[in-house]
Amino acid sequence: MQRKDGPMSEQSEPSSVRVRIYDREFALRTTGDPERLQALCRSLDTRMREVAASTGAVDTLKVAVLAALSLGDDLQRVREELKKLDDSVARRSLACVSMLDRFLA
């Protein structure tokens, strides 16, 4: 399993990792950190159980789709917040540069 911006670690050979998600076992291969993959799978399992409990859904596929939408929503919110923080830092940096220019000029 690789992230969009690169591998999870520097392993060159893929390793097989057995995980359990929503009462099903999977053998996944990763060139990244196996412990990180297991943690991600535990997080997904938790989210799926939360979704199932809150919606009453019993169909595994429906639970998985709802969990994916929930995680996607979380990701989008974090990206929006990061953008706001980046914009704020950029504005403050420009203000600091402007003040320094006045003092040094």
pLDDT at position 3 over 50: no
Tell me what the mean pLDDT of segment 45-50 comes to. 98
**pLDDT in the model for residue 1:** 52
Domain boundaries, given as residue ranges, for the chain: 2-104
Tell me what the mean pLDDT of segment 47-52 comes to. 97
Q: Alpha helix locations (H) across 1-105?
A: 34-55, 60-104
Tell me which residue of 29, 70, 62, 28 sits closest to 46, measured CA to CA: 70
CB 1 within 8 A of CB 28: yes
**pLDDT in the model for residue 101:** 86
**pLDDT in the model for residue 92:** 94
Query: 18: which residues sit within 8 A by CB, 6+ positions away?
Result: 25, 26, 27, 28
d(CA 44, CA 32): 18
Does the pTM exceed 0.85? no
pLDDT bin (cut points 50, 70, 90) of residue 10 is low
